[in-house]
Chains A and B, each alone.
Chain A
């Protein structure tokens, strides 16, 4: 079942960057990634999906309904987001920030408290509970923002480079956790990655963006090729197969 579909979408920032998406979809329980060079429009797609920016034309259908017809509250019971970066001017604690994930439900009963604590244990952020968010390291902040999205308990998770500053140990743990959300709990994940190998290893499908357009889309083994990597990122690389998962992995040429 397709939870989310983008059709013939057009958008531009004051006419200097043009995004054009003919078709993009996300099925229930799918883990889909977006990769592409800096400035290719990946974050812009998430902004359009969350109504931070307004599309020029086209359709974005969420559960058979155009997203512009959702109230903010209803929309964010279906979609949660980990933004590329998040700053705040005040000394809010980690718990303050994570608990905002429950605002769409507008209840602050013990049930919410339970979900928050349980999720914080899973992401190993409980020990920061009382800490001021601004004093955390970059990777710790990203773990907090992932926790915030998880407590929102939505069908769709939108992740914007959510492990870009996270060490290898936590990267594996968190990506696995998100993968598990999709496999076991049937959540749909749309995740932007710069690490092509991570995207290839965990994704059911990948969209490759360049200059505001989808250049390729398909299963990792179909589109992670030496030729396409050269064309998209202008890198010289060798593609090998992951010994156990049988997914393509990129090795850089010297």
Chain B
């Protein structure tokens, strides 16, 4: 099998997510590239949660409409997903008899000593059917809480089924990480020493992840009183020379805007992760959207430069979070890493070699002596950095200032300083090598960005489209975009918002034919997008 999709669903608290991850791990060790999509509500108990685990040989980071297996913990899960085909493996303690494989998951789990592991009972049946060796199952349960008890449950069900396929274990498997983990790791590789955040889904798991590993990585994690506190504390911290990142979603980003403008004016480096949910306002916290693009491009008052990067999977999230930190310090400007829920919280296969492509760039330092001028006017607009605590007096300012950092209202100085800051754009553009990516070829072009990348590549391949992914939105790679559509017959843009924000930006540079928009919080499935493209 080159392509397998498994859906596991139940109530919040049923453990479907943990079991989904174990399945992902098994597929990963079986040589598949894995993509896991999480669907859950903004509540703590009850509701309907499900994970879609997709394993492909060609690495398609999107879900399909059809499933090969449905693992249902309750009646609700069966009702919602049954029409999608595949083998039903269900918890017969809660679901009435259906066509499929009934497993008395609760009874078995109870007999073995814990109700919480019932979702793993269904995993036992799945593994036997697709031919996962018992040894491999043992491997992936290593380190899992109460692994022995869990394995007992799995074994009982595993033994009750018949093998219908065979899955071989690979020697070297990829890593499985979420987009948010990748963002954190990328920043760490660029020397991040501080992460400040106020919880807001879907960015929160960066805060959780870094809080867990802060000792091992020797970094500070700080949760201030609100997002205004987050950004202002972060800028104070960066002023002392410490690389700092903050993370939030649209609402918190709104509160940070005055601080982002301050970062630009005071030329204080900062990386802001903006993980979009479906908005406006509180919107739908746990569902996906891409409607903050225009906001990220205009994140504060005044005329200033800021970077906007929009990675489309975990490897890109890692790479661009690293680049955002490095470039923010090189040019002393705010860098915004714009992701969305389906990047942040989805799990991806991650090639360890991605690590080799990144490093920490050292910022340009000045002489730590009495004559230091924080805002020295230079040819490329970048003034060398010095941090407080030495001979130099370092004066950073939110007001317009002279070269030393003293507030000014002098018309010539105002003009000179504004020009100095804007001048950085020239070198920034030169530094940015990979601003778009092109997949496939042909005279029909499909533009995508962020999480729509996965479905766009998968669907584009089958519907005969050349896919162009925009990774850098600011500064906008207009020449490359023009180049990419040269001689093409049709341009389609796919994105997860209702107005076509990326499409409207593209229209400034090229002719755009059609927008395929989705704004119900759900990701594009491969078949769905193929159908849209064929219309």
Q: Say whether A associates with B.
A: no
Chain B contacts to A: CB under 8 angstroms: none
